[in-house]
DNA sequence: CGTTACGTTGACTCCCGTCAAGATCCGTGG
DNA sequence: CCACGGATCTTGACGGGAGTCAACGTAACG
């Protein structure tokens, strides 16, 4: 059914997909790559509002204009649906609407989690949050346990980290150095991160109780990840 | 249809409705009053994540636990639906699901707007945003134009303002005083706010271009409100 | 009255933003 | 292979904005 109205588009890293206020003729689903949503104030201050990964959805039924910039981070393939037929299909196929509902509720949850981070966390906590988030995502992607030592490639630049966390690039860099000096992370070539002890890093996020006598495995299991 | 599975509950101002992690046996719609969603870090830092007004919805289909605290601000009446029958009804009645989808997309939009505020705006800009937001809401509620002088009762305390904006109560207070001294707002009894010139206040939000020669009406109409 | 919650103001500190200079990495071309 | 230039990242010095701690007003209510 959806087959009939879909087509594919690809974008290179750094390429804009659409701008705030644009009228979008299609809705889309991310097939490969990653996409960032952001918004910029007139004076240039920029805040990333969301990070879309494969299976995430762009656009909303019933409204033509997007209210943020959309940009490809890595090479991206979108599966696009023309608006009119897609909206008609939602009417006829409740299952799709229900799927979209669950997805948008998930995004809402993520956005609210991020509000807590942006509004109340310190720079060190923000960086720790982001790093352990990515570490856990990589671990689950590669089916590894989140217990021991692990490495990954940082998918975004320092600048993008700043935009995501509501920090300047200099503060990001300084906090990375600080975490490195404290032995919580290791950095090779500025993009390759190694985390010797994820539990220790997560203790810096502010999300967990400062427990004096709690072993590491325990601290990982008693809270949701 | 919904009639058969619904019942009402009321809560007094300040009364908790549920706590983070609670299992909720019902979903609900706000009938009267206002409700705040918030989350607290282990060390006590608190961030408001959402403000629900009449017609807004609490809870999500397919998940039992809430992931934030829910609290009544003013006297609140909820229309509650038992979970099981409600979820069954969504299956059978696509229209309800579509309605929920639109509502959750609206909430997502608000949450992202707030991320911009929390991550990048100064204390003065945050306060200005909140005040002009409330002013516009009151104006549209009472069907007044948003051009001239207008007054309203601040529905929340300084503390709640701080939780909403990611600020301390002292900073909130100081910025209110500063805006008052600059003639942008007038304060009577700490809760009654008068805005002599909404456009002037909105110029402090950071959302608009610092335009040297732009008349007020124009500045109000050229951007979305 | 006194008590308690709420709000304001002041003094001080410190985290983070700003400005500026280096350092490192990387692709291109001589 | 090395030189050059540009982007990216790091580091330092400095200042300001917002948090912290504390005292003082003010309003509501018994």
Same domain? B190 vs B104? no
pLDDT in tens, A113-171: 999 999 999 999 999 999 999 999 888 877 777 777 999 999 899 999 999 999 999 99
CB A160 within 8 A of CB A108: no
| Whole-number Å distance between alpha carbons of B129 and B179 | 12
Same domain? A103 vs A126? no
Same domain? A126 vs A166? yes
β-strand pairing of B35-40 with B69-72: antiparallel
**Arithmetic mean of pLDDT over chain A:** 89
Q: What is chain A's length? A: 225
Q: Measure CB to CB from residue B120 to each of A45, A90, A102 and give the nearest one.
A: A45
CB A49 within 8 A of CB B116: yes
More confident residue, A51 or B217: A51
Same domain? B70 vs B132? no
Q: What is the CATH number of the domain that holds B178?
A: 1.10.10.10
Q: Measure CB to CB from residue B67 to each of A42, A68, A109 and give the nearest one.
A: A109
Same domain? A144 vs A178? yes
What pLDDT does residue A90 have? 87
Confidence class of residue B218 from pLDDT cuts 50, 70 and 90? very low
Same domain? A159 vs A199? yes
Q: Which nucleotide is nearest to B14 (CA to C1')?
A: C5
Confidence class of residue A95 from pLDDT cuts 50, 70 and 90? confident
Q: Do A119 and B91 touch (CB under 8 A)?
A: no
From the list A147, A158, A161, the residue with the least C-alpha distance to A196 is: A147
Same domain? B97 vs B129? no
Q: Give the number of other CB atoms < 10 A from CB of residue A133.
A: 16
User: Which of B95, B118, B141 is a domain's end point?
Assistant: B118
Closest chain A C-alpha to B30 CA, distance in angstroms:
18
B148/C11 CA-to-C1' distance in Å: 40
Confidence class of residue B223 from pLDDT cuts 50, 70 and 90? very low
Same domain? B6 vs B109? yes
**Arithmetic mean of pLDDT over chain B:** 89
> How distant, in Å, are the alpha carbons of A99, A100, A185, B74, B106 from that of B102?
13, 10, 42, 26, 6
Same domain? B126 vs B114? no
For A115, half-sphere exposure in the C-beta direction (CA atoms, 13 angstrom radius) is 30
B136/C18 CA-to-C1' distance in Å: 35
Helix ranges, A121-181 (H): 123-141, 158-165, 169-181
User: Which of B118, B133, B165 is a domain's end point?
Assistant: B118
User: What total of structural domains would you count in chain A?
Assistant: 2
Confidence class of residue A214 from pLDDT cuts 50, 70 and 90? very low
R_g of chain A computed on alpha carbons: 19
3-state secondary structure of A106: helix
Q: Specify which of A108-112, A133-137, A188-192 reaches the highest per-range mean pLDDT.
A: A108-112
Same domain? B205 vs B140? yes
Confidence class of residue B144 from pLDDT cuts 50, 70 and 90? confident
User: Which of A102, A118, A134 is a domain's end point?
Assistant: A118
Tell me: pLDDT of A79 over 60. yes
What pLDDT does residue B1 have? 63
Tell me: pLDDT of B149 over 70. yes
| Whole-number Å distance between alpha carbons of A165 and A178 | 17
The average pLDDT across A17-22 equals 93
What pLDDT does residue B2 have? 65
Which residues in chain A are contacts of B42 at CB distance < 8 A?
206-210
Same domain? A76 vs A157? no
> How distant, in Å, are the alpha carbons of A181, B5, B54, B76, B78 from that of B9?
54, 13, 14, 8, 5
| Whole-number Å distance between alpha carbons of A120 and B80 | 32
Domain of B18, in residue numbers: 2-118
CB A157 within 8 A of CB A205: no
Tell me: pLDDT of B178 over 90. yes
From the list B48, B57, B9, B6, the residue with the least C-alpha distance to B17 is: B9
Q: What is the CATH number of the domain that holds A93?
A: 2.60.120.10
Tell me: pLDDT of A17 over 60. yes
pLDDT in tens, B93-138: 888 888 999 999 999 999 999 999 999 999 999 999 999 999 998 8
> How distant, in Å, are the alpha carbons of B147, B177, B202, B214 from that of B182?
19, 9, 14, 20
What pLDDT does residue A141 have? 77
The average pLDDT across A99-109 equals 94
Is the torsion defined by CA of A81, A71, A36, B98 positive or negative? negative
CB A180 within 8 A of CB A124: no
Nucleotides, chain C, CB distance < 7 Å: 6-11, 15-20, 25-26
- Number of helices (H) and strands (E) in chain B: give both, helices first: 7, 11
Q: Give the number of other CB atoms < 10 A from CB of residue A221.
A: 9
For A182, half-sphere exposure in the C-beta direction (CA atoms, 13 angstrom radius) is 14
Same domain? A44 vs A12? yes
């Amino acid at each position: 059914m959806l087959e009939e109205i879909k087509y594919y588009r690809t974008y290179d890293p750094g390429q804009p997909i659409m701008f705030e206020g644009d009228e979008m003729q299609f809705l889309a689903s991310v097939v490969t790559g990653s996409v960032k949503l952001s918004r910029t104030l007139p004076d240039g201050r920029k805040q990333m509002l969301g990070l879309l990964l494969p299976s995430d959805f762009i656009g909303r039924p019933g409204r033509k204009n997007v209210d943020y910039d959309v940009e490809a981070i890595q090479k991206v393939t979108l599966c696009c649906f023309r608006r009119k037929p897609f909206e008609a299909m939602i009417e006829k196929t409740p299952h799709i609407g229900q799927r979209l509902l669950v997805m948008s509720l998930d995004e809402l949850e993520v956005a609210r989690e991020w509000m807590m981070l942006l509004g109340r966390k310190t720079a060190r906590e923000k960086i720790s949050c982001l790093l352990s988030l990515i570490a856990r995502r990589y671990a689950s992607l590669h089916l590894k346990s989140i217990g021991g030592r692990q490495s990954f490639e940082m998918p975004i630049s320092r600048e993008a980290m700043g935009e995501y966390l509501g920090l300047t690039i200099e503060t990001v860099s300084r906090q990375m150095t600080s975490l490195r000096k404290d032995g919580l992370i290791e950095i090779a070539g500025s993009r390759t991160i190694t985390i010797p002890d994820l539990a220790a890093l997560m203790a810096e996020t502010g999300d967990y109780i400062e427990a004096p006598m709690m072993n590491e495995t325990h601290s990982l299991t008693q809270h949701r990840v």
